[in-house]
Amino acid sequence: MLLPRASVVFCFFATFTLVYSNSKVVRYRKWAEEHPDAFVNQETADESLQFSSKPQIEASSGSVWPMPQLMQVQENRVFLSADTFEFSFSMHDCDTLQSAFKRYYHIIFDGHLDTKLKFSPRVEKQESNCVLPSCDTAENTMLEGLVVELDTPCEKYPSLESNETYTLNVKSPTAKLSASSIWGALRGKSVISIVFMMHVSFEIQETKKMLIEIVSNYFITLLQSLDAMAYNKFNVFHWHIVDDQSFPYQSAAFPNLNVKGAFPPYYHHSYTQEDVAIVIEYARQRGIRVVAEFDSPGHSQSWGLSQKDLLTPCYSSGKPDGSFGPINPILNSTYDFLKKFFGEVVTVFPDHYVHLGGDEVSFTCWKSNPDITAFMKKMGYGDDYSKLESYYIQRLLDIMKSLKAGYLVWQEVFDNGVKVATDTVIHTWKGGYTDELGKITKAGYKTVLSSPWYLNYISDPYDEPWKNYYKIDPQNFSGSQAQKDLVMGGEACMWGEYVDGTNLIQRLWPNAAAIGERLWSSADTTDFNAAAPRLVEQRCRMVKRGLQAEPVSGPGYCKYEYSP
């Protein structure tokens, strides 16, 4: 069929709810009255017309996601009322615990919240707001509250060494959450918002086994992503905050990095110091670490727009051609700048670790520059420009050590034979990752894996890509147990070339949730068929909580429609 060039043709599968304006509803009702034969009388319809619509995968009801490493369930029903239920604590108290009480009370009771109360939030007497369909105490047992017991005082910030173990025991009249630290209590509370709708009594034990990081570069949707991370037990936000195209971070020491390096107008496309502080605090309250990445010597074109002589001038036919390459590694002024800049970074970002990048460094410009080639000859490097890269990285690592900071680098630094300190964390991101993990850990380095979990790669939804993410075990490579213990965890990546605030949440969730369970649950939790109904339910929970998580397993529906 030939179509006019101005025509727009589309097809949609209408398995969703359409919300009409009042005028459309009136027109629809008028049309329905005029065309009564268009509707089937369900009481008198021929049996051949009877059918039962259902989703492709039925959501589970009250199942936990991600699956704990140990869970015991007894089929006893309990119910909650916003009139009587209260959170309380014993042993240790802090602002993070208080904030979590209020946040999860709000989630459990659909927005009922009295912010004036400290640890026992209640609403004024009103019609009972029960979690169960029935609040008949003859059939169910009243759960009066939850007591949180912390073994140690609250820490200010989570760290790599934080103990996130917890035990949750739900029995009437009072449930008990025991945790070694405040961060374990937060992990338990993410389960509480689920299990208080499960109508059961049970005990859960769960132990941290990984780091997970998500890459993003937006602000409002970034905060929403942190909420989603908390709901799915992600515990590290890897913030790739600058790159070739833009320098949105506002540096106090070098303000022109942002003024000249951010997308114009810079004040609309920047992260102020206050913005960064908000993100860090928002993440801290959810037990999430923020690890910033400032990638160099490559991916640094935006840096050079304000910092004279920082980038390497490229030459063509023996003359500068006006373009620039990676950071110039042969000038002392480069390292003076880096020391001052990263001196600021480690004060702004409280986590022990900073990601220093080191990936995709092109040697072409370095090879064209006569000053660089003369330096290579002087140092005895010959034509091996990986040695020049090693020179730069080693001087940068010396700066970080002087600042008492830990660091991660991308795998090219290791692959190119750069001599790095034994406490360097190598970030594995390329193909052939099983062999790479074996080589890195055999050399004694810790590593984080992201290779199989690049969610910015658009996959065919009919292939249900979450299953590919779910089947990956980062410790499934040839090596000793000591080597496998050096795998710190995994990372779900979302790069921003084709993602912004309009589609970030949808592209990330709930596919990232499958990665979360793969890394948090027992190694034998691998059954797609068992996971699918729980993932559908988890997706609907996120929708109910105001997150536009996309459908993951074909035609279906959620009990609650998305409402921003």
Q: What six digits make up the tokens of 543?
A: 């929708």
Phi and psi at 72, nearest 5°, equal -120, 130
Count the Cβ atoms, other than its own, within 10 Å of residue 17: 8
Q: What six digits make up the tokens of 34?
A: 């005029």
Q: What six digits make up the tokens of 475?
A: 């410790």
Q: Considering the candidates 360, 491, 497, 550, report the single residue annotated as catalytic.
A: 360
Q: What six digits make up the tokens of 199?
A: 């109508």
Q: What's the gap between Cα 64 and its chain centre?
A: 19
Query: Within the chain, what is the greatest distance between any pair of CA atoms?
Result: 95
Distance CA 396, CA 446 (A): 19
Helix 332-348, helix 385-402: angle, nearest 10: 40
Q: What's the gap between Cα 17 and its chain centre?
A: 29
Q: What six digits make up the tokens of 389?
A: 């890269």
Residue 203 known to be catalytic: no
- Residue 275 burial (C-beta neighbours within 10 Å; 0-12, 13-18, 19+): middle
Bridge partners (DSSP) listed for residue 289: 236
Count the Cβ atoms, other than its own, within 10 Å of residue 1: 3
Q: What six digits make up the tokens of 175?
A: 């449930």
Bridge partners (DSSP) listed for residue 177: 148, 168
Residue numbers annotated as active site:
360
